[in-house]
Amino acid sequence: MDEDKNLNKDNILDIKARLKIKRHEMASQLPEERKRNFKEVPYGYSPEEAIEEAKRCIQCKSEVPECVKGCPVNIDILGFINLIEKGDFLAAAKKIKETNSLPAICGRVCPQEDQCEKLCVVGRRKDTPSVAIGNLERFAADYEAKYGDIHITVKGDKSKKVAVVGGGPAGLTVAGDLCKMGYSVSIFEGLHEIGGVLMYGIPEFRLPKEILLRELKVLEDMGVEIFTNAVVGKTFTIDELLEKKGYDAVFIGTGAGTPKFLNIPGEELNGVYSANEFLTRVNLMRAYNQSEYDTPIKCGRTLVVFGAGNTAMDAVRTGLRLGYEDARIFYRRSRKEMTARLEEVHHAEEEGIKFEFLINPVRFIGDENQNVVGVECQRMELGEPDESGRRRPIPIKGSEFVTNIDAAVIAIGTNANPIVPNSTPGMDLNKWGYIVADENTGRTTKKGVFAGGDIVTGAATVILAMGAGKKAAVSIDEYLRTGTW
Amino acid sequence: MYEIVGRKSMGEGIDLYNILAPDIASKALPGQFIILRVHEKGERIPITIAKTDKNDGTITILVQTLGKTTHILSESNIGDNLADVVGPLGVPTEIEQFGTVVCIGGGFGIAAIYPIAKGLKESGNKVISIIGARSKNLLLMEDEMRSVSTELLIATNDGSYGTKGIVTDVLKELIYDKKESINRVIAIGPVIMMKAVSDLTRDKSIKTIVSLNPIMIDGTGMCGACRVLVDGKTKFACVDGPDFDGHKVDFDNLMNRLKFYKEEERASYECHTKEHHHS
Ligand SMILES: Cc1cc2nc3c(=O)[nH]c(=O)nc-3n(C[C@H](O)[C@H](O)[C@H](O)COP(=O)(O)OP(=O)(O)OC[C@H]3O[C@@H](n4cnc5c(N)ncnc54)[C@H](O)[C@@H]3O)c2cc1C
Ligand SMILES: Cc1cc2nc3c(=O)[nH]c(=O)nc-3n(C[C@H](O)[C@H](O)[C@H](O)COP(=O)(O)OP(=O)(O)OC[C@H]3O[C@@H](n4cnc5c(N)ncnc54)[C@H](O)[C@@H]3O)c2cc1C
Ligand code: SF4
Ligand code: SF4
Ligand code: FES
């Protein structure tokens, strides 16, 4: 077999035994129970389960194991899995943190099946699923949070100051890395809470806020200054940060937060939400707990979510938990083209979410109070591949039908937020309004200004935003030491 | 963090607050707003900035008590802190030399129109301001408005002061009877008032700017809750506005969207006042 050349031959006797161990799925709340609460779905591994799962790694001997090639931040996966197998969980966590400062988050939200686990040689064999790298990463990080000492020593004199704009995964990574290198770092975040999509977008049942707050505390303990309620471009401009506020460099990580709409009739009706509005009400503003929090959200019988990415899955499962009896996904392509993490699709289906494919909305229908009561859709068929390489959906004539609904959520993607770009002269944008920045250094066309994450690439993933942050931190350090641009 | 350093009751359920927010005070321009949260579990509500004082770092807002959040705010005292204040948000009102500009304020809209009238006057415009109230003793900011206007016209519903009627009656008189040549109208107040003003000026093709007040959450273009229909197109009031061409705004849609959470708002208000009276 082709992948056998990767195997550690000294360990060959073990390999057969290792390959016989079945993949451990994490124990989870039962679907019937969890679909009405906001508590996290999987409970995570016990130490015994983690050790057993770690034994499934066949300890590839190649210089860089395949799995590592699939991880955007090149975590020493083999190394940390080995430590878990030995039962040294704290050392495993430390090993991961050499390259990834937010493992409890990545373990939970990375699309592993497209990254590390996709390339794992165990998974590439027939009949043996990949080592559960994400689950193991999550286990090590949670174990450390519970039993470890996450105190980080910071070196350097902090004489140079860096401003980080936006407190999402890109900004948090830059801030943490630069702080460790001895810079004085301030984060400017527009909302009243930090975390970006991790705070306002990804729901509690998938990423408990407590985990995020834990990571933020680490940053604060390290001495990162955090200013919330600071919309850069409004409260301060990038030029003011550099010229008046005495920052030596600025990193922009403001994300791709502006929701796209369908631009079809009736979209302005009450009850038609962008995914961002729906999720922000529930997550950032905690509308799921209306006895304590003031921001309202409505509930009804039928909710339809348009789209099939992580955002759509989060919205539809949130709807279910708010009390919608019938929560559905309508997607204009087919199951194969869905972009959500496999685990989320799987969880959604277990919870009773209905998926309907090859359906495109053409108009929303309102009642006399302009509240949405229905949506007219048409059925689609797949044609030739389009510029994204996926087969283009084409409407089938005469296939229109109406579905009665109480609310609709539009989760078809986002655009660049224009506030920072429009208020920063001398910084080039591409034709879609994203910031032009060097892929390897994060340098923009404006001296002293770096950028990374979704505001450069368009909506992507948490780990890619973090990866961009890591690279930017290295090149900010270089710029501040050498002064060369 | 954001201390209330002054407050006074203005009547008609409207209170004035001076809030310590130096970064915003040094930046705000006429037509911009803040979003505030009164407490840690509160909702985010948008409020127009009426005045700023760069020297002591304060901003002044006028807030009408309507539901739970504004009610809690009305119970706060000097020395209390608001959980969050963010701004200045939105695009500032266009201030240039237009010629003769009519500034119309209704209710708390008078607070919003004040800095605009001031800016326009300072830019050399003839500023005719029209403000209204139910009765003479309920009129807001009369002296301030007079000081920034070339001419101040007043409407009261009961006729106790100025013209008997509403602000649009005064505007109509100005356009049709006095034949004043007007280059621009700016109207801020209840949606129904802005709609009536826009209807009145449409026939005469007088450019009319209104400041829209849809439900907002983040105020930075992230959620789309504040979307309004202008010339048939979706606009986000928090980043594209709040000022729009009144002749192109779909006011009926705005009124309907403002009503969406009425039930929940009423329930949370009742729940709050009940608890309050018990304790
Ligand atoms: C609902 C949802 C679910 C997702 N699920 C997953 C998943 O399971 N796995 C995965 O890998 N990815 C997922 N993603 C994508 C992922 O979250 C993003 O790619 C990632 O968060 C991008 O990070 P970022 O730091 O670039 O920006 P963001 O996370 O968007 O953070 C940007 C921050 O900047 C702030 N900001 C914006 N403008 C300003 C300004 N002018 N001044 C100051 N602050 C500003 C914002 O408030 C925000 O806090 C999901 C996205 C969404 C919306
Ligand atoms: C740009 C802008 C500027 C504004 N300026 C002022 C001002 O200077 N002074 C003032 O008194 N009011 C102003 N408002 C309106 C003010 O935000 C609402 O009156 C306030 O949110 C009501 O909150 P509540 O909880 O007390 O009342 P609720 O009972 O919650 O609501 C009462 C009504 O207020 C509106 N409303 C509710 N929540 C929001 C929200 N999050 N955002 C906007 N509207 C909402 C709805 O129409 C609702 O029916 C402004 C609104 C906008 C958008
Ligand atoms: S960070 Fe993501 S891609 Fe990398 S090892 Fe962890 S789960 Fe896999
Ligand atoms: S996780 Fe998979 S690819 Fe990585 S070292 Fe283990 S067996 Fe090899
Ligand atoms: S208030 Fe969220 S986009 Fe305007």
For residues A43 and A110, give the distance between their C-alpha atoms in angstroms, rounded to a whole number. Answer: 17
B113 and B201 together in one domain: yes
Q: Are residues B52 and B126 in the same domain?
A: no
Using the atom order of ligand 5, give the atom closest to the CA of residue B237: 4
Q: Which residue of B has its CA nearest to A262?
A: B234
**Could you tell me if residue B134 is inside a domain?**
yes
Which residue is closest to B264 within chain A, CA to CA?
A: A296
Q: Is residue B205 in some structural domain?
A: yes
Q: How far apart are CA B51 and CA B18, in angstroms?
A: 9
Q: How far apart are CA A334 and CA A383, in angstroms?
A: 12
3-state secondary structure labels for all residues of B247-275? CCECHHHHHHHHCCCHHHHHHHHHHHHHH
Distances (CA, A) of A275 to A258, A270, A297, B154: 10, 14, 13, 45
What is the residue whose two structure tokens read 């970064």?
B23
Is some CB atom of chain B closer than 8 A to the CB atom of A417?
yes
At A18 the three-state DSSP class reads helix
Q: Is residue A229 predicted with pLDDT exceeding 60?
A: yes
Question: Domain for residue B94, yes or no?
Answer: no
pLDDT digits (tens, 9 = 90+) for B51-102: 999 999 999 999 999 989 999 999 999 999 999 999 999 999 999 999 999 9
> For position B191, which CATH number holds?
3.40.50.80
Look at chain B and count its residues: 279
Distances (CA, A) of A402 to A305, A366, A370, B188: 15, 12, 17, 40
Question: With the CA atoms of A470, A475, A477 and A478 taken in that order, what torsion angle do they form, in degrees rounded to the nearest 10?
Answer: 150
Q: Is the pLDDT of residue A150 over 80?
A: no
Backbone angles phi, psi at B250, to 5 degrees: -90, 90
Please enumerate in sequence order all residues whose Cβ is within 8 A of that of A159, keeping only pairs 6 or more positions apart, or say none.
A184
Per-residue confidence (pLDDT) for residue A437, from 0 to 100 = 97
Q: At B186, give phi and psi (nearest 5°).
A: -125, 125
Domain identity same for B206 and B118: yes
Q: Is the pTM of this model over 0.90?
A: yes
* Beta bridge pairs of residue B36: B45, B85
Answer yes or no: is pLDDT of A12 > 70.
Answer: no
Average pLDDT, chain A: 93
Ligand 5 pocket residue status of B238, Cβ below 6 Å: yes
Task: Dig out the tokens for B176 from the structure.
Answer: 């049709």
Q: Which of B177, B196, B211 marks a domain boundary?
A: B211
User: Are B87 and A419 within 8 A, CB to CB?
Assistant: no
Are B201 and B168 found together in one domain? yes
Among B152, B177, B211, residue at a domain's last position: B211
Structure tokens at A399: 């296939």
Domain holding B18, by residue range, is 4-89
Question: What pLDDT sits at residue B274?
Answer: 76
- Output the average pLDDT for chain B: 93
In a domain, B21, yes or no: yes
Is residue B76 domain-shared with residue B115, that is, in the same domain? no
Residues B110 and B183 in one domain: yes
pLDDT score at A3? 47
| Whether ipTM exceeds 0.90 | yes
**From B260, which residue of chain A is nearest by alpha-carbon distance?**
A270
Give the residue, out of A118, A120, A133, with the most ligand 4 atoms within 8 A of its beta carbon, to mutate for a pocket test: A120
A419: contact with B, CB 8 A cutoff: yes
| The predicted structure's pLDDT at residue A13 | 58
* Helix-strand-coil split of chain B, %, nearest 5: 30, 30, 40
Whole-angstrom distance, CA of residue B163 vs CA of residue B143: 18
B38 in the same domain as B13: yes
Tell me how far apart the alpha carbons of residues A309 and A340 are, in angstroms, rounded to a whole number: 4
Q: Chain B within 8 Å of A369 (Cβ-Cβ)?
A: yes
DSSP class of residue A340 equals S
Q: Provide, as residue numbers in chain A, all residues whose Cβ is less than 8 Å from the Cβ of B41.
A: 286, 292-294
The verdict on B194 and B110 lying in the same domain is yes
Q: Of B123, B177, B173, whose CA–CA distance to B150 is shortest?
A: B123
| DSSP designation for A391 | E
The Cα B107–Cα B157 span in angstroms is 13
**pLDDT attached to residue A288:** 87
Any chain B CB within 8 A of the CB of A267?
yes
Distance CA B38, CA A366 (A): 35
Per-residue model confidence as pLDDT tens digits over A395-441: 999 999 999 999 999 999 999 999 999 999 999 999 999 999 999 99
Region B233-245: what's the mean pLDDT? 96
Structural domains of chain B, count: 2
In a domain, B240, yes or no: no
* Chain B contacts to A (CB-CB under 8 A): 23-24, 27, 37, 41-44, 68-69, 83-89, 217-225, 227-229, 234, 236, 239, 250, 252-253, 256-257, 259-261, 264-265, 268
Q: B83 to chain A nearest CA, in Å?
A: 9
Q: Do A281 and B217 touch (CB under 8 A)?
A: yes
pLDDT at A129: 95
For B25, the closest chain A residue by CA position comes to A235
CB pair distance less than 8 Å for B268 and A290: yes
H/E stretch holding A426 reads: none
E strand or H helix that includes residue B101: strand B100-106
Determine, for residues B221 and A286 on separate chains, whether the beta-carbon distance falls below 8 Å: no
Output phi, psi for B10, to 5 deg. -105, 0
Pairing assessment for the beta strands B51-53 and B58-64 based on DSSP bridges: antiparallel
Atom of ligand 1 nearest to the CA of A230: 43
Q: Cβ of A45 under 8 Å from any chain B Cβ?
A: no
Give mean pLDDT, residues A333-360.
94
pLDDT digits 0-9 by tens, B98-113? 999 999 998 889 999 9
Contact assignment for A267 to B24 by CB distance below 8 Å: no
H-run or E-run covering A233: none
Using omega within 30 degrees of 0 as the cis cutoff, is the peptide bond preceding A421 cis?
no
Asked whether the beta carbons of residue B222 and residue A257 sit closer than 8 angstroms, the reply is yes
Hey, whose CA ends up nearest to atom 48 of ligand 2? B258
In whole angstroms, give the CA distance from residue B134 to residue A422.
43
pLDDT of A2 above 50: no
Q: Give per-residue pLDDT as tens, A87-124.
A: 999 999 999 998 898 999 999 999 999 999 999 999 99
Q: Which of the residues A191, A197, A200, A229 would you substitute to probe the B interface, choosing the one with the greatest number of B C-beta atoms within 10 Å?
A: A229
| Residues B68 and B105 occupy one common structural domain | no
CA-nearest residue to A370 within chain B is B256
Q: Is residue B239 part of a domain?
A: no
Phi, psi of A231 (to 5 degrees): -90, 105
pLDDT at A457: 96
Cβ-Cβ contacts under 8 Å, B269 against chain A = none
In a domain, B270, yes or no: no
* DSSP line for B3-29: EEEEEEEEETTEEEEEEE-HHHHTT--
| Chain A nearest CA to B213, separation (Å) | 15
Q: Number of Cβ pairs closer than 8 Å across A and B?
A: 121
Q: Looking at B29, B60, B89, which one is the last position of a domain?
A: B89
Q: Does A422 touch chain B (CB under 8 A)?
A: no
Mutate to test the interface with A, among B72, B222, B271 (most CBs of A within 10 A): B222
Same domain assignment for residues B63 and B43: yes
**Judgement on whether residues B105 and B130 belong to the same structural domain of the protein:** yes
**Measured distance CA(A113)–CA(A132) in Å, rounded:** 10
DSSP state of A252: E
Ligand 1 centroid, distance to A256 Cα (angstroms)? 7
CATH number assigned to the domain comprising residue B70: 2.40.30.10
Number of the ligand 3 atom closest to the C-alpha atom of A134: 7
Q: Is B268 inside a domain boundary?
A: no
Q: Residue B132 corresponds to which tokens in the numbers above?
A: 């209204």
